[in-house]
Structure 1
Amino acid sequence: MNGVQVLLIDDEVGYTDALAKRLDRRGLSVTAADGGPQALEIMASKSFDVVLLDIKMAGMDGIKTLRAIKRRHPEVEVVMLTAHANTDIVISSLAMGAFDYLLKPADVEELGRKIEDAAMRKRSNSK
């Protein structure tokens, strides 16, 4: 998974910091954002393969952020993260173009596989 650029978007800074360190140890290049507006600002100047996006965030929630990401960067694959298994929201996010979703706290092994699958799909769609 070396070389995969990941943007982690979550307003829980402690969770974001811990997860970013764990993913970084797996050879991923992780950038963290504490919400949708900051993430969109970062994405305006840097490209990513995969976005990990929390659904429940204060201010601009994950669904609004997903919509903005897909409108501006349709090639980026987005994996939704949620602590609340709300089937309607998950189905809605998949319909808007999310690659997949995982329940928080996500198992790092499973999350690593999702990131790898999403990065491979992005690369195959870019050809």
Structure 2
Amino acid sequence: MSRIKLLVVDDEADFLKLVKRRLERRNFDVEVASGGAEALHFLSANPVDVVILDVRMPGMSGMDALKHMRRKHSEVEVIMLTGHSSVASGLEGISHGAYDYILKPFEIDDLIERIRSAHEHAVLRREGGGGNVSSGS
């Protein structure tokens, strides 16, 4: 089985380094982006399975980036990170097509469980012909 390819998007450089290192130790293939525009640029040239996307970032917000991803990269599952925000932001992300959300700070095992679930969902969608799957229900 191939490694799950992740893109972690957050404007906090130390957080990105820490999460990248901890996920790579658990056999994930991890790339990082420091903002929404950088993430969209990366996705236009590189396939990933799951995006972990911070809600609050300067420039393009995570919510705006999510909306672009849903239009141009609908095959990618997105897990929203809500640190400075609230559960309401996570639920808003789901209403815009995110697969799930997680609150910062989080336990790495909880994040890994959500990543694997999102990846499994993406695989099932692809194998099922890529039909529309509603989110948030």
Confirm or deny a common fold (TM above 0.5): yes
Give the TM-score taking structure 1 as reference length.
0.95
Could you tell me whether the CA contact under 8 Å between 1:11 and 1:58 is conserved in 2? yes
Task: Tell me the equivalent position of 2:30.
Answer: 30
Say which SS state the counterpart of residue 117 (structure 2) adopts. helix
When the two chains are superposed, the root-mean-square deviation of aligned CA atoms in Å is: 1.2
Q: In structure 2, what residue type is equivalent to 1:111?
A: L
Say which SS state the counterpart of residue 44 (structure 1) adopts. helix
Query: How many residue pairs get matched?
Result: 127
Task: Tell me the equivalent position of 2:135.
Answer: none
Say which SS state the counterpart of residue 45 (structure 2) adopts. coil
Flag as ranges the 4+ runs of structure 1 deviating above 3 A.
none
Q: Which has the higher contact order (CA 8 A, sep 6+)?
A: 1
For 1:106 and 1:84, the matched residues in 2 are separated by 13
Task: Tell me the equivalent position of 2:111.
Answer: 111
Could you tell me whether the CA contact under 8 Å between 2:81 and 2:90 is conserved in 1? no
Offset, 1:84: 3.1
Could you tell me whether the CA contact under 8 Å between 2:91 and 2:101 is conserved in 1? no
For 2:71 and 2:10, the matched residues in 1 are separated by 20
Kindly, what percent of the aligned residue pairs are identical?
A: 35
Task: Tell me the equivalent position of 1:88.
Answer: 88
Unaligned runs of 5+ in 1: none
Task: Tell me the equivalent position of 2:66.
Answer: 66
Distance change (3 Å), C-alpha of 1:90 and 1:13: same
Offset, 1:40: 0.7
Unaligned runs of 5+ in 2: 128-137
For 1:19 and 1:2, the matched residues in 2 are separated by 20
Give the TM-score taking structure 2 as reference length.
0.88
Say which SS state the counterpart of residue 58 (structure 1) adopts. coil
Could you tell me whether the CA contact under 8 Å between 2:50 and 2:77 is conserved in 1? yes
